[in-house]
Structures are given as C-alpha cells and as structure tokens.
Amino acid sequence: MNSLRDLHTTASSFQKTAKMPVLFVGHGSPMNALADNPFTQTLHQLGHDIRNLQPPRAVLVVSAHWLTRGTFVAINERPETIHDFGGFPQELFAMQYPAPGAPEVAREVLEALPDAHPTDEWGLDHGTWTVLHHIFPEADIPVFQLSIDYYKPITYHAGLARQLQFLRRRGVLILGSGNIVHNLRQSMPKLMQGDATPYAWAAEFDEWAKAKIDQRDLLALAQYQQAGASGPLAVPTPDHYIPMLYSLALAEPDDAIRHAYEEVSYGGMSMRTFMVG
C-alpha cells in the first residue's frame, strides 16, 4: 500500500452491508443431497429467505469434516466437490457443486486470524455441499471453508468465532455444519432396520442443547459432558458438535435465534437447524 489513495480504495472495497444472519445446519447423511423431504425443504426455504434479505457476498462454512492441527482457510478460486464418504449410490458420487471460491474474502479472514494458514488443498466437503445444494442450488455464490483445529480445547472455538463477527457486516453468510447429537455407532442398528425413532438420551440431550442455545449459554454447551448421562452418548466425539458453537458464538444481543428444523433421526442423530439474526 503506497498512498492514502490506496488506503481509501482498500477501505471502500469493504462494503458495509446489512448484518447477515448465521446458520447452523444439522447435515446428517450425505443422502440428503438427493432427498426431497421436510429437512431439505427447510433448507430451500432458508436459502430463499436469505436471498430475499440480501444475497450473500460469500459463504464461509465451518464443517465437521475438515479437522486439522492448526487453523486453515481455503483460498481456492475453484474449489472441488469432495466426495468424502463411501458405500453410497453412484448418483451421489456424480453430484457436483460448482460454486466459485472466495479468495478475496479468505484473505480478509487470514488478516483477522494471524495464526491461521492459507491452503488450496481443500475444496468443499460433504458437510458443505450437500446442504448448500439445497440452500443455494444455483451454486452462484462464492464458498470457502475454515478448518476446525481439533487439537484445541473446545472453548477455543467460540473465541475464534467471535473474531469473525466483522464478516457479517461485509455480506458474508457464516454456516456451521455438523450435528448436535451424533452417535453413529448407536444409530447404525436403527438405520439398518429403517427405524427412525430417537433414543431417549438423544431426545433429552437435543432438548437440553436447544434450551442452552436459546439462553446463549456457551459455557454450559462447552461443558456438555456434564449434562447428565446423555452428554457422553450424544457427543462421543466433538467433531460434529463444534460447528454449532461457532454459529452460536456469532450471535449478538439483538439477534433472534430461530429453530428452523427439529428432528432426531435414526435414534442418535439430531438434525436441529437454527438461524441467528
């Protein structure tokens, strides 16, 4: 930057916009990418509502499926669609989500997070594209991802999320993608039998989490293992739980929280989806 004119040009390029909402989506099975059901219909409606409010400049996704040592920001101009799963129909593997990347916005994130690292070695994993396929089916909004440093304590992530608050006023939709209750080992027997009824512990924890989300009680949510016997069963590992903390930590005092979709499917998987703002 060589002059005051350069400084003014740079500053004016950060357009101040109406504050964007924040989403948390319980993404569930990759097969939802192919499904037309109440959950995917809710995602379609959320996308419609957000476009009517203000088409996002970009979407930043924190997905349960990008776990790293250290924090990374994807800077790809053309992120690939990653089919990071197995045992599903070929139709699912053939799906593409050809949204452009958002390298300029990624650089803004890197400036705000001095300990984060750029990378072009990650695209859009299924925690991202299977839900955006329904939210923004045109794939015309730039998308990039922020990794989850899986070696940090869980309280670290809420603090990191707050450093991204400025993006909401620069037209960026931030989306956490995971599942508040996610116990595949317990879910598989019901899945194999086609039994969608929830376990009592899964429904109990999902309702507990809903109450804490509404209270914006990040400390209690971070201490989920203390939420009675249901905590360790509902969250055996925190990978799918952490994205919810990012979304909630971005809530400001004047933001409403709306639970757009509520369901515990196949025994032990919460599809709870909420919007902040």
User: CA gyration radius for the chain?
Assistant: 18
User: Stretch 147-153: mean pLDDT, rounded?
Assistant: 98
Higher pLDDT, 7 or 214: 214
Place of tokens 């971005």: 250
User: Stretch 120-148: mean pLDDT, rounded?
Assistant: 98
What digits encode the pLDDT tens for the residues 63-104? 999 999 999 999 999 999 999 998 899 999 999 999 999 999
CATH no. for residue 123?
3.40.830.10
Cα dihedral 42, 22, 76, 156 in deg (nearest 10): -130
Inside any domain, residue 69: yes
Average model confidence (pLDDT) across the chain: 93
User: Stretch 18-47: mean pLDDT, rounded?
Assistant: 97
Question: Is the model's pLDDT at 6 over the cut of 50?
Answer: no
Inside any domain, residue 119: yes
Higher pLDDT, 15 or 124: 124
Close Cβ partners of 33 (under 8 Å, ≥ 6 residues apart): 92, 95, 126, 129, 130, 133, 134
Inside any domain, residue 196: no
Inside any domain, residue 5: no
pTM for the whole structure: 0.92
Q: What is the pLDDT, as a whole number, of residue 18?
A: 86
User: Stretch 209-230: mean pLDDT, rounded?
Assistant: 96
User: Stretch 136-160: mean pLDDT, rounded?
Assistant: 98
Q: What is the pLDDT, as a whole number, of residue 64?
A: 98
Inside any domain, residue 187: no
Inside any domain, residue 118: yes
Question: Is the model's pLDDT at 7 over the cut of 50?
Answer: no
Question: Is the model's pLDDT at 4 over the cut of 50?
Answer: no
Q: What is the pLDDT, as a whole number, of residue 1?
A: 38
Inside any domain, residue 232: no
Inside any domain, residue 114: yes
Domain count across the chain: 1
Domain coverage including residue 22: 17-179+237-263+270-276
